[in-house]
Amino acid sequence: MAKNTPSPQKMNNLFLLMGENDYDLKQFLKKWIHSSVDKYGEYNVVRYDFQDKPVSELLGELNAPPFFGDGKRIFFIDNFPPSPPSRPFSDKKKKEILALAEALLTLSDDTVVVLAVPKPDKRISAFKKISAVVGKTYTFPAWSKEYSGALSSEGLSTATEWVMEQVSLLQGEILPAAARFMVQYCGADPWVLSNEVEKLVTYFRSSKKPISENDIKHLSSPSDEMINFAFSNAMQTGKSSEVLDIIDKLFATGEAPQAILNRDLLPTIRQLLQVRFAIDSGASAKEAGVHPFVFGKLKRIAEKFDSKKLLEAHAHLKKIDIDSKTGLLPLAPDKTSLFRLEVEKIVLQLFGLV
């Protein structure tokens, strides 16, 4: 007959904060630390980083009595249970990790411990022991993404609401469409977005007007992803004016012409050509050599161009590439006007404007 094993008793003085959104996690932790200092005094609030402090020192502190009478001691321990290491832990480190985990299971009632780690290694014994008894776990999940790495519609909605909340906390104002644009323009990193929000709110606080998309374009820095896919995204609008505007912005960033050519222009036109081939021949995305996600994004715009125009644009770009490498087309930082003229000419021809 199977023996019943009683469930571990929960510890109301042990807490765990984890989740990939380490910005929100650390902001939450910061507020908790400040409120603890206000309530129990700075001498009874201790913060350690497991990666920086010897475990023996942590164990000694956990067993020390509180200062000034019968008050509680609050410990905030970062990076424990630890995240998966880049190299396996040594046997000594494994023993230290387990020793600290077991010490946390025997905390006295006047000791509170808050563990904070964005990505704990859930496979190790220390995590399993702690998660079985922790009084409460606070999770801070990353914004939802698609398999391509881009924010899903749910993730974009969550991030947009997050931006609006951050602006409101700073007594600023932003319209939902502008908040959504900020996420798309600056990227989905909460740390970056928080800096951009603070900058924009500070700049426009005296004007008492909502932050607009144009304000974001003029004052905020585009993410690497935005720069890398700017031309492709502009092509998807199907508007020549949008495409030419992005070309202006790419040059304004000081990007090397070779980067604009080989990172933005050639790959996008080549993919449009592949998608157009698939449309004309009834081939699948796989047969055309295009990722299904990219195929879905480019299919609508590829249908607006015939294969001949796309082939001409691709051939023209290849000629620019060859001419730049043979010295026929100068691409020095102060001699990019001819290159820019050639690129704009390709866009106008592709859209049938010349």
Residue 64: the pLDDT is 72
Instruction: For residues 275 and 293, give the distance between their C-alpha atoms in angstroms, rounded to a whole number.
Output: 12
In 3D, which of 225, 145, 210 has the Cα closest to residue 178?
210
Cα 120 versus chain centre, distance:
19
Domains of the chain: 11-87+95-139 (3.40.50.300), 153-222 (1.10.8.60), 229-350 (1.20.272.10)
pLDDT digits (tens, 9 = 90+) for 222-254: 777 666 667 777 777 778 888 888 788 777 777
| pTM value > 0.85 | no
Residue 5 pLDDT exceeds 60: no
Q: What is the 3-class SS of 161-226, one letter each residue? A: HHHHHHHHHCCCCECHHHHHHHHHHHCCCHHHHHHHHHHHHHHHCCCCCCECHHHHHHHCCCCHHH
pLDDT in tens, 287-333: 888 777 678 778 888 888 888 888 998 999 899 888 888 888 877 76
Q: Which of the residue ranges 28-37, 73-82, 181-190 would you say has the lowest mean pLDDT?
A: 181-190
How many residues are there in the chain?
354
Is pLDDT of 2 > 50? no
H or E element at residue 75: strand 73-78
Using pLDDT thresholds of 50, 70 and 90, give the confidence band for residue 122: very high
Q: Would the pLDDT of 196 be above 70?
A: yes
Q: Note the pLDDT tens digit of each residue in 81-102.
A: 999 988 888 888 889 899 999 9
Check pLDDT > 90 for residue 336.
no
- Tokens (6 digits) for 330: 């100068």
* Tokens matching residue 267: 């790959």
Mean pLDDT, the chain, whole residue set: 85
